[in-house]
């Protein structure tokens, strides 16, 4: 592999560039912004920093959050301790960390906008605002707002969610999760160093309506937002029946992270999947036992076997999680009530937050624990 062009400098692109450059491949990373902020929390799950320990073993500003409060209409709120902490960066600091690692590994980083990819033989001409360069392979890591429409996931209106929020002058030492009536999504408060990321992520509702919901919540909680920086993004949230046809690769290119639609359809978490997809893409690209023409298929299969099948199943659960019913009540309300009264259920939810509980066997685990969970609930209610 002579030269690889990585289009996009977010977590997926920066990590892919680092891995390629560290393996001796001439790597050029192209991005018009480089490090930037996003409204989402910036939380790294245990699954992420267990696989990639450098995410915690560094001197960058970050918070280790060990508790979470979950609230739902008609159920109040419950606070729970996390078995494994969430590690929360600002997205700006996390991006800087990953880009600097890529540069130290030998990747060339250019701040420019990519205008077009044109096929030339078995390689590419990458046209930018500053000129053009040749590459043998391209990795598309340009995020959910990927302007290169012929590459990466193909969205439909049902495959997207809004994530918007404020960087508020607010301090606390736990994460807040607030479910809302008739909303396929939730509000979050993620404490960061020096401020809090307070936002909302959801499908099926206009951005202006979501912003209204968020500001009412912040007013109720006494969290100031007037004059605070506001950010909004579209994120992929692929419907369950479209995962198997999700376009993640083609002749001479792979897509990674948000550009490939690789976001948890329930939590909206994408950082682990950005980095893991970059990892799998570079492995497929560098594997000399895989013919060049077979690399797209090999990468797609590796994604599906590793985590995309689980995200696909999660997408079939998402609507029920937020607006479904269980035991004659809404699932969010029942979740809060079960968390309050059942230690077994708190362990399961803690594993979901840590990223160590797959969706594929969640139902089996819930049913296995249902008898014990209900027993704990009845006992705790009696003693209460």
290-318 tens-digit pLDDT: 999 999 999 999 999 999 999 999 999 99
Range of the domain at 373: 323-383
Q: Indicate the burial class of 265 (C-beta count within 10 angstroms; 0-12, 13-18, 19 or more).
A: buried
Residues contacting residue 42 through CB under 8 Å, at least 6 positions apart? 88, 89, 90, 91, 94, 190, 192, 197, 271
Residues of the chain with pLDDT > 90, as a percent, come to 79
pTM of the model: 0.93
* 78 found inside a domain: no
d(CA 151, CA 294): 17
Same domain assignment for residues 264 and 299: yes
Express each pLDDT in 22-58 by its tens digit.
Answer: 999 999 999 998 877 776 767 899 999 999 999 999 9
244 and 217 housed in the same domain: no
Residue 80 in any domain: the answer is no
In angstroms, the CA 16 to CA 31 distance is 14
Tens-digit pLDDT profile for residues 45-54: 999 999 999 9
Residue 72 lies in a domain: no
Q: What is the CATH number of the domain that holds 260?
A: 3.50.50.60
Give the pairing of strands 114-120 and 249-250.
Answer: unpaired
CATH number at residue 183: 3.30.9.10
pLDDT tens-digit readout, 248-261: 999 999 999 999 99
Chain centroid to Cα 265, Å, comes to 9
Residues 313 and 331 in one domain: no
- Does 120 fall in a domain? yes
- Give the number of domains in the chain: 3
Q: CA-to-CA distance for 202 and 212, rounded, in angstroms? A: 13
Asked whether residue 49 falls in the same domain as residue 120, the answer is yes
Domain boundary among 266, 289, 317: 317
């Amino acid at each position: 592999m002579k030269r690889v062009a990585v289009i996009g400098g977010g977590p997926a692109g920066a990590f892919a560039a680092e891995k390629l450059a560290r393996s001796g491949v001439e790597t050029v990373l192209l991005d018009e912004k480089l490090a930037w902020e996003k409204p989402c929390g910036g939380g790294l799950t245990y699954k992420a920093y267990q696989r990639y320990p450098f995410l915690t073993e560094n001197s960058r500003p970050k918070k280790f959050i060990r508790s979470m409060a979950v609230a739902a209409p008609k159920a109040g709120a419950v606070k729970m301790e996390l078995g494994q902490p969430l590690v929360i960066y600002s997205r700006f600091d996390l991006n800087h960390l990953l880009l600097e690692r890529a540069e130290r590994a030998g990747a060339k980083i250019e701040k420019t906008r990519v205008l077009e990819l044109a096929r030339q033989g078995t390689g590419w001409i990458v046209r930018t605002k500053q000129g053009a360069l040749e590459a043998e392979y391209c990795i598309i890591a340009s995020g959910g707002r990927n302007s290169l429409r012929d590459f990466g996931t193909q969205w439909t209106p049902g495959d997207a969610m809004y994530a918007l929020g404020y960087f508020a002058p607010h301090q606390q030492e736990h994460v807040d999760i607030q479910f809302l009536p008739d909303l396929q999504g939730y509000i979050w408060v993620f404490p960061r160093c020096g401020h809090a990321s307070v936002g909302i992520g959801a499908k099926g509702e206009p951005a202006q309506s979501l912003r209204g919901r968020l500001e009412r919540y912040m007013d109720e909680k006494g969290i100031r937002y007037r004059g605070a920086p506001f950010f909004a993004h579209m994120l992929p949230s692929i419907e369950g029946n479209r995962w198997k046809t999700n376009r993640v690769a083609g002749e001479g290119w792979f897509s990674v992270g948000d550009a490939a639609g690789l976001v948890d359809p329930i939590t909206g978490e994408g950082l682990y999947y950005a980095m893991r997809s970059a990892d799998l893409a570079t492995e497929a690209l560098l594997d000399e036992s895989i013919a060049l023409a077979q690399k797209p298929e090999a990468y797609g299969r590796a994604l599906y076997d590793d985590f995309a099948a689980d995200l696909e199943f999660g997408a079939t659960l998402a609507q029920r999680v937020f607006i479904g019913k269980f035991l004659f009540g809404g699932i969010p309300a029942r979740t809060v009530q079960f968390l309050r009264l059942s230690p077994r259920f708190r362990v399961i939810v803690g594993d979901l937050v840590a990223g160590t509980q797959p969706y594929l066997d969640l139902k089996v685990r819930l049913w296995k624990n249902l008898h014990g969970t209900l027993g704990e609930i009845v006992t705790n209610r009696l003693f209460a």
